[in-house]
Amino acid sequence: MTGIFNNMIKTIRNNELNRFIFDSNIIDCIVNKKISFEKLESIRSTGGKFYVTHVQVDEINKCPEVNKRSILNLFMLKTMPEVIPTETIVLGYSRLGEAKFGNDEFYKKLLVNNNPKHIEDALIGEVAIKNNIILITEDTKFLKKVIKLGGQAISIDQFRMIYK
């Protein structure tokens, strides 16, 4: 796993792959300032790109804490992520026009025991894999699963180590 991460660091630092999508669990890292807005703006200003799906936007909008929701909306404004559709439609969950009719191959492999609690992760992970975007997540099992399926994923600490 260390060799894979070291190769990814070289690729990211050489600006060969500077595209990121945050897993839903990174929201608390943003609010707790584990990731600074200035660092994200710096990455964006040097060619880095951030992506979101309706999944992350919906989660931010559902946030009951006004202050937390304000910080997250500020994050969206400062990073200016590109909104891209999920690769699979999940009936009763996906937004029309924000999801594709895919073959759901990766989605099914990422969905843990068909547990509805993991629908968001599976959708975001599938987007990362199919679009060659680096997933940033705090969920180690999910990270390893995305890598095993051919995607690229790093933890928030690894992200911070790359962008000191």
In angstroms, the first-to-last Cα distance of the chain is 21
pLDDT surpassing 60 at residue 1:
no
* CA separation for the pair 95, 100 (Å, rounded): 10
pLDDT of residue 9: 61
Owner of token pair 């839903």: 24
81 backbone φψ class: left, alpha, beta (φ>0; ψ -120 to 50): beta
pLDDT per residue as tens digits for the range 86-133: 999 998 888 889 999 878 889 888 987 767 778 999 999 999 999 999
pLDDT at 142: 92
Distance CA 64, CA 87 (A): 28
Predicted pLDDT at 102: 79
- Percentage of residues in the chain with pLDDT exceeding 70? 88
Q: Provide the pLDDT for residue 43.
A: 86
Number of domains comprising the chain: 1
Q: At 81, list the tokens.
A: 């992520």
- For 12, other C-beta atoms within 10 Å of its C-beta total 22
Q: pLDDT digit string (tens) for 7-24?
A: 666 656 555 568 999 998
Range of the domain at 72: 2-12+19-162
Q: Look at strands 19-22 and 134-136 and give their pairing.
A: parallel
pLDDT at 133: 95
- Which helix (DSSP H) or strand (DSSP E) does residue 162 occupy? helix 156-162
C-alpha 34/C-alpha 32 separation (Å) is 6
Residue 41 sits in a domain whose CATH number is 3.40.50.1010
Contact (Cβ atoms closer than 8 angstroms) between residue 89 and residue 100: yes
Amino acid residing at 90: V
Q: What angle do CA 54, 56, 61 make, to 5 degrees?
A: 90
Determine whether 38 is exposed, middle or buried from the number of CB atoms within 10 Å of its CB (0-12, 13-18, 19+). Answer: exposed
Average pLDDT estimate for 66-76: 88
pLDDT above 90: residue 136: yes
Residue 51's pLDDT is what? 95
What is the reported pTM? Answer: 0.87
